[in-house]
Amino acid sequence: MSKYAEIAQDIRASIEDGAIAPGERLPTVVELCELYGVSKVTVRKAVELLAEQGLVSSRRGSGTFVKATPESKGVDGRHAGDTLYIGRTDRSIGFTNEHAHQGEVSSVVHLFAIEVPPAEVAARLDLGDEDFCYHDVRTRLLDGVPLVIEDTYMPLELVPGLKRHHVEGSIYNYLRQDLGLHLASFHRIVRAVAATAEEAGRLDIAEGDPLLELEQIGFLDSGAPFEYSVSRNVGSRSALHTINIT
């Protein structure tokens, strides 16, 4: 393993065990050079790797800060100890491309709006009190069979020009192909939950049936969070495929 990767791994371990808390500033480049006995180039490469993994982001003139991710605390107040699985995955192909070879993919859009997100969502997306987001809620179907309900927020500034027809199709294709964004990593928490009456109606299942909930934050290669979403999947109709970033 290269020296910069070792440093990134060490800092990542400190973040994951809580030694460096969400929102806390990392030591400066000079301080990290002294701590690890390496050059500025090595330290910068380590920080860049952490940013690519969505663990930190840099603020001009302020330094590099640890991101708040689902592992630290869910928006409903639950901590990682309440979860079945925590992982970092790369699923940048999106639902449409993942299922396109299996049949016809379609969406029912229940909500598409521009709004100021709730404070806890704004914190996940590194937004201020008056920053706007796209907010969409949609059911994704394969050959007419509903598989998942997605509730998604995306910062207006990072995702300009999003239209309803993108939401009805593939948002990720718009991000990658039209905006040229590189979706680098996702931090995800997976939970087992029971379907509400509204969800049961949309997914054609019974109220209380088990669903697989995925709470996640998606990061660009710059380390900026571009998406916060909670999706609820019908477990009997879908499978979770995960590639862990180590």
What is residue 149's predicted lDDT score, i.e. its pLDDT?
Answer: 97
Measured distance CA(184)–CA(201) in Å, rounded: 34
Residues in the chain: 246
Instruction: Walk along the chain (246 residues) and give the pLDDT tens digit of each residue.
Output: 899 999 999 998 888 888 888 888 999 999 999 999 999 999 999 998 888 777 888 777 778 888 766 555 444 444 444 444 444 444 556 776 666 667 888 999 999 999 999 999 999 998 998 999 999 999 999 999 999 999 999 999 999 999 999 999 999 999 999 999 998 888 888 999 999 999 999 999 999 999 999 999 998 887 789 999 999 999 877 666 554 444
CA distances (Å), 240 to each of 27, 73, 121, 148, in order? 37, 22, 24, 12
Question: Which two tokens mark 106?
Answer: 């379609």
- The set of long-range contacts for 159-168, using a CB threshold of 8 Å and a minimum separation of 24, is 159/134, 159/226, 162/134, 164/109, 164/112, 167/107, 167/109, 167/112, 167/136, 167/138, 168/107, 168/109, 168/138
What is residue 56's predicted lDDT score, i.e. its pLDDT?
Answer: 84
173: left (phi over 0), alpha (psi -120 to 50) or beta: alpha
- H or E stretch covering 44: helix 40-52
Measured distance CA(194)–CA(173) in Å, rounded: 31
User: Using an 8 Å Cβ cutoff, are 126 and 57 in contact?
Assistant: yes
Whose CA is closest to 8, among 51, 40, 58, 63? 51
Residue 160: what are its φ and ψ, rounded to 5°? Answer: -70, 150
Euclidean distance between the first and final Cα of the chain, in Å? Answer: 12
CA distances (Å), 29 to each of 34, 48, 50, 53, 57, in order? 9, 12, 14, 19, 14
Calculate the dihedral angle through the C-alpha atoms of 9, 15, 18, 22, rounding to the nearest 10 degrees: 180
Measured distance CA(46)–CA(63) in Å, rounded: 15
**Coil vs helix vs strand at 99:** helix
